[in-house]
């Protein structure tokens, strides 16, 4: 079984913000593969189903990530760009750092969606908690969520290298 975890914060205040990109990607998977996320297990909202012939659990943690400074997210990806890594460190992402610490390993794949950098003078916390203020940016991010969902499905069905190749195609 594959466990797919979207990182974000629970609650209406955080819905569809840069901070909750992970939740939005898991929501796309939930809708695309008809996997309702409605059970509370292990401090997460969970849905179980099948993606491309493989059993999966889609998880939305109901615990909060650390919101302090640049350690909230890694911002080296432009808005809407995807990155796939088969394993590796947490970098500056405290949520990922906590996952690696508690699992005792970092050898699991992860898909990242770029949220860009805050404009000059913006506080990092305000940036990650802001929504997408133009139709073009909303479309860019929606396309990125759909692409990330496709990368995850590709990983499940075909493995690491095909997932990596798909990211390259999607990023153009």
Bridging pattern class, strands 44-51 and 39-41: antiparallel
19 annotated active-site: yes
How many other C-beta atoms lie within 10 A of the C-beta of residue 167? 21
Beta bridge partners of 54: 51
66 half-sphere exposure, CB direction, 13 A CA radius: 15
Q: Which residue in the list 16, 19, 38, 93 is annotated as catalytic?
A: 19
Strand blocks (E) in 42-170: 44-51, 54-61, 82-85, 110-113
Helix axes 135-158, 21-32, angle to 10 degrees: 60
* Contact present, 46 and 57 (Cβ < 8 Å): yes
Angle at 19 between CA 16 and CA 22, to 5 degrees: 75
Query: So which residues are the catalytic ones?
Result: 19
């Amino acid at each position: 079984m594959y466990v797919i975890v979207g990182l974000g914060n629970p609650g209406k205040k955080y819905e569809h913000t840069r901070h909750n990109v992970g939740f939005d990607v898991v929501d796309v998977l939930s809708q695309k593969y008809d996997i309702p996320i409605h059970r509370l297990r292990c401090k997460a909202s969970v849905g179980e189903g099948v993606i491309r012939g493989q059993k999966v659990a889609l998880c939305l943690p109901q615990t909060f990530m650390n919101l302090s400074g640049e350690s909230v997210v890694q911002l080296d990806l432009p808005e809407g760009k995807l990155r796939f890594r088969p394993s590796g460190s947490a970098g500056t992402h405290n949520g990922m750092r906590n996952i690696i610490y508690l699992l005792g390993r970092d050898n699991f794949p992860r898909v990242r969606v770029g949220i860009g950098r805050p404009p000059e003078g913006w506080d990092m916390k305000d940036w990650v908690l802001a929504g997408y203020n133009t139709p073009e940016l909303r479309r860019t991010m929606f396309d990125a969520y759909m692409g990330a969902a496709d990368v995850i499905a590709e990983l499940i069905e075909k493995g690491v290298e095909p997932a990596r190749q798909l990211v390259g195609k999607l990023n153009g």
